[in-house]
């Protein structure tokens, strides 16, 4: 199963939103506000006709996808592994270039992936997006 750029973005958003719902009230996470600001910026539902509340976030996503997937012929379709790698690259971009304190989020995602004992944790959210 492969996803378009938009489906992959939505899949990432739904997955990260599920994490947000789990941790938003956790006072032990240092600077949870950065995660809230990050989620607000990438939210595809805040403004009609936009893939993200912050239009630059969509461009950042495309840039991260282009680092992972170099298919220049036609529409880009991503596997679950590629979506996962793009998501990690996207979060790292916000850590490195935008100074968001989200290192804990990457650790959380990898820990969750290992607990699930799945090669492709994104497969489940991919199914949700294709319903």
Give the contacts of 73 (CB within 8 A, at least 6 positions apart): none
**Cα radius of gyration rounded to whole Å, the chain:** 14
Global pTM value: 0.86
- Which residues face 78 on adjacent strands? 3
Q: For residue 9, what are the domain limits?
A: 5-129
* Mean pLDDT to the nearest integer, 12-29: 89
Task: Say what the pLDDT of residue 64 is.
Answer: 94
Q: How is residue 30 written in tokens?
A: 């240092």
- Over residues 8-23, mean pLDDT: 91
113 pLDDT more than 70: yes
Q: How far is residue 9's CA from residue 65's CA, in Å, rounded to a whole number?
A: 10
- Residue 57 backbone phi and psi in degrees, to 5: -60, -40
- Judged against a pLDDT cut of 90, whether residue 38 lies above it is answered with yes
Residue 121 pLDDT more than 60? no
pLDDT digits (tens, 9 = 90+) for 43-59: 998 877 768 889 899 99
Across 10-18, average pLDDT:
92
* Residue 101 predicted with pLDDT over 90: yes
Please report which confidence band the pLDDT of residue 90 belongs to, taking 50, 70 and 90 as the band edges.
very high
Question: What mean pLDDT value characterizes the chain?
Answer: 85
- Measured CA to CA, the distance from residue 77 to residue 69 in angstroms comes to 9
Q: What is the pLDDT of residue 69?
A: 75
Q: Which DSSP symbol is given to 44?
A: T
pLDDT at site 94: 97
Q: How many domains does the chain have?
A: 1
pLDDT at 2: 86
């Amino acid at each position: 199963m492969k996803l378009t750029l938009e489906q992959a973005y939505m899949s990432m958003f739904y997955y990260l939103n599920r994490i947000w719902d789990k941790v938003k009230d956790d006072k032990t996470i240092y600077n949870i506000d950065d995660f809230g600001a990050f989620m607000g910026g990438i939210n595809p539902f805040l403004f009609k006709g936009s893939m993200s509340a912050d239009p630059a976030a969509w461009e950042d996503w495309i840039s991260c996808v282009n680092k992972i997937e170099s298919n220049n012929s036609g529409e880009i379709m991503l596997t679950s592994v590629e979506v996962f790698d793009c998501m990690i690259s996207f979060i790292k971009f916000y850590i490195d270039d935008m100074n968001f304190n989200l290192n804990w989020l990457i650790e959380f995602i990898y820990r969750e992936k290992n607990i699930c004992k799945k090669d492709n944790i994104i497969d489940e959210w991919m199914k949700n997006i294709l319903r």
